[in-house]
Chains A and B, each alone.
Chain A
Amino acid sequence: MPSYWSAVRAVLWKDLAVEWRSRQLLAAMLAFAVLVILIFNFSLELDAVARRTVAAGVLWSTFALAGTLGLNRSFVLEREGGALDGLLLAPVDRSAVFFGKLLANLLFLLILAIFTLPLYALLYNVNVFIPGPLLVTGLGMLGYVAAGTLLAAMASAARTRDLLLPMLLFPLVIPVLITAVRASSGFLSGLEMQYIWPSLNVLIAYDLIMLATAYMVFDFVVEE
């Protein structure tokens, strides 16, 4: 019987291999993210001052919207070929499947950030490469995919799968969006840490609570 972590790694590796062979998802997410940033530019009339104050908001809206593309694929692909049943037959704890999927989704989002952040910095002349916002990006994405991976597993079983996921996900990740935007714009505008900690604390609490909840309920989602 394989160990827990090797099972998690195997699921992660499988998802990365699938993506490496098709290269559809990341390309779509990136193109979509660029489009969203452009749309914000035209719809918000971003001048030099506004760029600094809304930077975190535009970036997080982009991540949240582009992120659903990846989350949707994550389980729809498995259900299509009946591959999920195969995965669940493996003699490992089912939460290993969840965490493997979660890490794959997190990695896709981080790759998206690696491309989007420099592009944003270049197009809008805002330096986002300071440790604070990068840390917040990581923490926020962790909470986002923890909720997203769980809900994607449920949405993929429904008739209206692609339509359903954003409806299910967005009301539940609002704490992530609010705290991540507030903390990173706090960092970007050079606020003192005492004003940033409250947001960071809620964000960290969300990550821990969501990971624990998803770990506990994932078995109920995939039992067939």
Chain B
Amino acid sequence: MKANPMQAEKPRLLRVLEWLTVISLAVALYLTFFYAPREAVMGEVQRVFYFHVASGWLGMMAFIIAAVAGIAYLSRRDMRWDVLAVACVEIGIIYAFINTASGSIWARPAWNTWWTWDPRLVTSTIMILVYIAYLMLRQGLEDPEQRARFGAVYSLVAAVTVPLTYFSIRIWRTLHPVVIGSGSPTAEGGFDMTSRMLVAFLFALLTFTFLGVTLIWQRYRLGQLNQHVEQLRAEVQD
């Protein structure tokens, strides 16, 4: 394969996205800390909600794209799908972890404990473990084609079992509040969003969508450049 100079250059759309992300992150911070009102019962700690849900959204989005990319790889056999899947898994793990950690910070004052065996908490933690296992599986495999294939199969099987994990824990009652949609009567720490809170919340979701796309794109480019280096190295050795 010939060297592709276009690949090394950063696409213009990505540059625009980077700036968009930086600016909207600044705005989201302002909205979270100054624009959104102080929640009456929980106080300042409720402000973690905006970034907590947004990072959870980013993590889920990344894992879903990873599963779709896995299916696309198995049917198309194009290595670019595999590079995308890995990019999504890595970013997804980080944001799922931020989601869990920030939830824990909120749970300490709201539930009076850092951790509880609630379906959402356990499911999201197991999801993180599943994708760490995904990375370990890949690390143990030498052949890039086999690595891509097994990775795709594993993320597919994981996508099937994670909802079942949720349902099997759901058989117990849940404690986690449902702010959007109907709340469970046993949930603790729920609240009604005022319109200002809603603005801050939706903007945080938008910001993290930009952030997610930017990060995944960067990691995807890095993966492709890595592959390119591998190819060049193999050519030199031949």
Residues on A lying within 8 angstroms of B by beta carbon are 147, 150-151, 154-155, 157-161, 164, 167-168, 171-175, 178-179, 182, 198-199, 202, 205-206, 209-210, 213-214, 217, 220-221, 223
Contact = CB atoms under 8 A, between A and B. Distances in A.
B140 interface: yes
Contacts of B154: 151, 154, 168
B206 to A, nearest CB: 32
B156 interface: yes
Nearest to B158: A172
A85 to B, nearest CB: 14
B74 A174 contact: no
A220 B168 contact: no
B130 interface: yes
A179 B168 contact: yes
B146 interface: yes
A214 B157 CA distance: 8
A210 B154 CA distance: 12
Contacts of B171: 179, 182, 198-199, 202
B167 A172 contact: no
Contact of B157 (A159, A172, A199): A172
How extensive is the interface on chain B, given as a class? 20 to 34
Contacts of B133: 167-168, 171
Contacts of A210: 157, 160-161
Contacts of B140: 155, 158-161, 164
Contact of A157 (B139, B146, B169): B146
Interface in B121-157: 126, 129-130, 132-133, 136-137, 139-142, 146, 149-150, 152-154, 156-157
Contact of A213 (B150, B160, B168): B160
A178 B74 CA distance: 31
Contact of A171 (B126, B146, B152): B126
Contacts of A178: 165, 168-169
Contacts of A161: 140
Interface in B66-114: 74
A159 to B, nearest CB: 5
Contacts of B141: 157-159
Contacts of B146: 157
A223 B143 CA distance: 13
B22 interface: no
B164 interface: yes
B157 A206 contact: no
A155 B97 CA distance: 26
Nearest to A214: B157
A213 B137 contact: no
